[in-house]
Structure 1
């Protein structure tokens, strides 16, 4: 029942770690992605070369756009990319599939290169150029787009990096020589070429490893949210007093000033975007600020990667071992409704009484996002004879899980954090709608709380709705302050 790369491919976790790679799940994407700034700011020449290669391709696209050489066919050849799902990293809550980069991304990138950033590659304010620049002002190119684009542009490196580990450590029966499309761009022929590599083989596709020191989580170091939130600090960095005055004057002129209240955060953000469009050099000043604090990016990203590995790898393995040793979690029988109740009962017992709550904590702080909870539960649930779908949407909105064995046996599960501000609405309205849409007879709600206050809140909600103590509402106590010690658990 392999869940992670090392387990399936017969190597140790230490071998993967010593190589510098992240030990990925082969069941579900984990919430990490390559941050191109970590390539730029690295002291490793090979990473700097990768960043230069990314810039070279962006400049190639910029020149083609400005020269008017892009037709529909070339746009698809040069701007469209599949998601590199084989690295098992990213934003998918089910499996490792994604939409890739298509027409919307191409249109936004072309517009940005043609108008706001025609000087890409010739900046004089910042120390260098950055691919993140094209997503900072206009909508249409987001964090996931930059992640997919960056991964595609360093695909040859990722394949070669994985190949070196594969040849040295992985049994030939578990690897194949495969042709990888769009692996390397030929600037003489202006064509993306496919290249053959010897790579790990999982069922019907190859697998890629990624170095931990180029990964981050949540946001790129250079990102739109920070720029907009801290916008008013950017003009302060402008040495030209006249330009600085013009920027502040323009910002104040476009800032909405409602009567009897201060401008809202949204109104200030809208004014900031208008100012950035009118003074695009501000983007370069923002990037320079981020460059000047570049060492922080390395430290913060390393901490985020460590936290992700601890929760989704180390602590998850301990929970799985606990479930396998002390319960029948992985051998339950019955229909999906009975299976789901048995598994949740086992999970509840291990979390509440056998130290399993530790999976949810890092440095004493519990997980903050329901998406992390859903990924964890998807990985724990692996091994079921049922089909486990995440975020199943049968017409009226997504549900966290649909456990099914054909069309006639379905059970829906909502996995929620007790602190969720929409919890009461969800409990009252959503699940019955999902049941009707999926033709599922059964639905179960599992709610995890981390504090006594969260416990009181959720119990109050359940009491108001008249479902406190209902068998299909499973409360799981993951508090860290009332659990037995490891020796007693």
Structure 2
């Protein structure tokens, strides 16, 4: 019934902490990823060396892109990588699968290096070069791509880091010799090579640990949202007064259209910023310079985010599983998928509403605001089921949160939603019935979690309007923090 790395291998969680490694889940990805800026800005020589090696590889790609088009075979060899699913990090609701970096990414990055970033590695304005630069204004290269690319480029280090931990703290029969593809690039042959490591083995695959001090959540320190959102700060960092004037003039020329009678909207300002950046791509370097100057904030902010993620997805989940759920017949629920799905929801509802489990959804007194976080948590309470639990299953009419099945004739759909979701009424009225028909599922359960009395009133009004007030397949979960008794009063 192990859910986390330390449980599976029978070691104390503090052992991972003492080595600075994240105690990953071996059931679900945890919503964290590696931020390359944390490598660049680190005081550790080994991290800065890793960052230099990544930039060396990007410079190699830049030089090859400058020579013109290359074959699809070389694009695939140099740019395409499978997701490193064995680190169990990312944003999968179930398991650890991902799409990786395919030909769309390869073509976009190759084109960007050739056109927008021909000076990559030789900027001069910033203290160093940054991988994140290639995703700031261009289409086709996003945050997830940068995360996957970074992880692949430092895969050798992560494997050696894990190998060292395993040698010191795991039993010999917990480790296997594994040949890992694309771990080291040979600049002589211009090919990626594979390397063999002694790595932990879990359920038919190896596992990779990651140091916590290179992880973050939500966004990289250098990201497109800040570039556009803080755009007006950038010209102040330009020492060239003529360039600064040209940038400001171009930006305001886009915004100040003839006949405008209102202030530009946030969307219009963002579009004006994007167009200005395309006209003056050197602005990206000045933005990065500002980020470098505030680099110490990146480590502090990321450490806080990692700590919050550990608390929410590791410590609180372990508490619910060990203290609240294992004392019941939770993992022995019988019946078909419909009965089991309802039973799992009831146990989760009882744990949240009556046994202190609502704390799982709070950090610093504030409720979690993302449905994916709640869906990951819900998936964790399905561990140990005899049913197949598919997430974001798409049978032709769009993805549904969960499809619980036992063969072709026993299927139940479950949607987990926040009460504040602006599409909640549409989802209840139309979306789930469409998914249900497409999946040949006879039953569909809608679980709605609310965090305030105002949200409860909103949900009740929707249910009344749709005549669903008495439906047993609509389950409301009260996660209000101010409505739970203290331990002394419970």
2:206 pairs with 1:170: no
Determine if contact 2:133/2:284 at 8 Å carries over to the other structure: yes
Q: Give the structure 2 partner of residue 215 of structure 1.
A: 215
Q: Give the structure 2 partner of residue 338 of structure 1.
A: 339
1:131: Cα distance to partner?
A: 0.3
Q: Give the structure 2 partner of residue 82 of structure 1.
A: 82
Instruction: Give the secondary-structure state (helix, strand or coil) at the position aligned to 1:437.
Output: helix
Q: In 1, Cα distance between the equivalents of 2:248 and 2:261?
A: 22
**CA root-mean-square deviation:** 1.3
Deviations 1:414-454, CA, capped at 9 Å, x for gaps = 11111111111111111111110110001111111111111
1:170: Cα distance to partner?
A: 1.2
1:316-465 paired onto structure 2 within 5 Å: 316-465=317-466
1:315: Cα distance to partner?
A: 0.5
Q: In 1, Cα distance between the equivalents of 2:171 and 2:253?
A: 66
| Structure 1: unaligned runs, 5 residues or longer | none
Q: In 2, Cα distance between the equivalents of 1:412 and 1:234?
A: 49
1:72: Cα distance to partner?
A: 2.3
Determine if contact 1:184/1:193 at 8 Å carries over to the other structure: yes
Deviations 1:295-347, CA, capped at 9 Å, x for gaps = 11101100110010000000111111233344322111111111111221121
Q: In 1, Cα distance between the equivalents of 2:326 and 2:228?
A: 50
Q: Give the structure 1 partner of residue 155 of structure 2.
A: 155
Q: Give the structure 2 partner of residue 97 of structure 1.
A: 97
Determine if contact 1:185/1:191 at 8 Å carries over to the other structure: yes
Determine if contact 2:123/2:285 at 8 Å carries over to the other structure: yes
Q: In 1, Cα distance between the equivalents of 2:470 and 2:484?
A: 22
1:69: Cα distance to partner?
A: 7.0
Q: Give the structure 2 partner of residue 4 of structure 1.
A: 4
| Structure 2: unaligned runs, 5 residues or longer | none
Q: Which moved more, 1:81-90 or 1:338-347?
A: 338-347
Instruction: Give the secondary-structure state (helix, strand or coil) at the position aligned to 1:381.
Output: coil
Q: Which moved more, 1:283-292 or 1:463-472?
A: 463-472
Q: Give the structure 2 partner of residue 132 of structure 1.
A: 132
Runs of 4+ in structure 1 off by over 6 angstroms are none
Q: In 1, Cα distance between the equivalents of 2:69 and 2:434?
A: 51
1:111: Cα distance to partner?
A: 1.2
Q: Give the structure 1 partner of residue 205 of structure 2.
A: 205
Q: Give the structure 2 partner of residue 225 of structure 1.
A: 225
Q: Which moved more, 1:224-233 or 1:36-45?
A: 224-233
TM superposition score normalised by structure 2: 0.98
TM superposition score normalised by structure 1: 0.98
Q: In 1, Cα distance between the equivalents of 2:452 and 2:73?
A: 57
Instruction: Give the secondary-structure state (helix, strand or coil) at the position aligned to 1:83.
Output: coil
Deviations 1:379-406, CA, capped at 9 Å, x for gaps = 1111111111111111111111111111
1:486: Cα distance to partner?
A: 3.0
Q: In 1, Cα distance between the equivalents of 2:203 and 2:229?
A: 45
Determine if contact 1:50/1:154 at 8 Å carries over to the other structure: yes
Q: In 2, Cα distance between the equivalents of 1:474 and 1:307?
A: 28
Q: Give the structure 2 partner of residue 310 of structure 1.
A: 311
Deviations 1:144-173, CA, capped at 9 Å, x for gaps = 000000000000000000000011111222
Q: Which moved more, 1:376-385 or 1:63-72?
A: 63-72
Q: Give the structure 1 partner of residue 59 of structure 2.
A: 59
Determine if contact 2:135/2:142 at 8 Å carries over to the other structure: yes
1:216: Cα distance to partner?
A: 0.3
Q: In 2, Cα distance between the equivalents of 1:342 and 1:348?
A: 10
Instruction: Give the secondary-structure state (helix, strand or coil) at the position aligned to 2:24.
Output: coil
Q: In 1, Cα distance between the equivalents of 2:443 and 2:102?
A: 39
Q: In 1, Cα distance between the equivalents of 2:458 and 2:230?
A: 35
